[in-house]
Amino acid sequence: MSSGSQVWRLTVGLLFTACHQQAAPATSGEPERASRAQLAQRCPELLAPESARAAPPRGVFLEIAQLMGELRGPLPSSTSPSRLGPFDDPRLQVQRVAHLMVANDVASTLAWDTLAPDPTPTREPRRWDLKLTAHSETTGALRLEVDLAPAPPLGTPPEAWSIPEHRRVHTTVVVGEQQPVVLALPPGAGAPARSLMVVTPYFIREEADLRRLFQCKMRDHRRSAG
């Protein structure tokens, strides 16, 4: 493995660790203010010049969050000078935050299991798979396929597992760089109650972009905590 690859893997690991720590809820049960403020934050230092944005990025760093609650109103513009994030609303609770590095046109899957048991017995599955596929458009936008479906029981052969369409949440959205997309999840789709999924793509064009993203997250964390 080359030294450049080692730096890439190490930077990704550090970024995952820092983002997960910042998004952890407070012990009192009330999510930390920084957790909401940092979701979908804008990092101008990652944006390429207009002339270079049509080229496919080397990879896409996806921030995926699950929120409970209702938004106050429309999301602010991505160019808004406000230091607050679009989800810095005390009525929103951050249930979890996951991060996924994906390559262009390659499907990636992560576990999106139900977080808490339902107080009433149901037949809803507890294990879910979230599959995300990013396709870079020539316009510089990103076409993102989102598929959430019950996961097969452990040990089940792939050919023996099929999912009816009414049990699957599937959609395709087109978003811009660092533009959050909000998806409403029905009850049972990886959550004990109706919730929101927020996906924010950060384009990674070179290894240094991961370091810039890490620095952006840490800088805004200090600002929101100050």
Per-residue pLDDT tens listing for the chain (226 residues): 443 433 334 334 444 433 443 333 333 344 344 456 578 888 888 887 766 666 788 899 999 999 887 766 665 554 444 555 667 777 788 888 999 999 999 999 999 888 765 555 556 678 899 999 999 988 888 999 999 998 888 888 878 888 877 788 899 999 999 999 999 888 777 776 778 899 999 999 888 999 999 888 887 666 555 5
Residue 9 to residue 101: CA distance in whole angstroms: 11
Amino acid 204: pLDDT: 92
Residue 138 to residue 57: CA distance in whole angstroms: 11
Residue 146 to residue 131: CA distance in whole angstroms: 6
Sign of CA dihedral 36, 82, 178, 61: negative
The residue with tokens 């009433």 is: 120
Amino acid 37: pLDDT: 58
Amino acid 121: pLDDT: 53
Amino acid 17: pLDDT: 39
pTM greater than 0.85: no
Amino acid 4: pLDDT: 41
- 150 closest CA partner among 180, 129, 166, 171: 129
Residue 132 to residue 173: CA distance in whole angstroms: 11
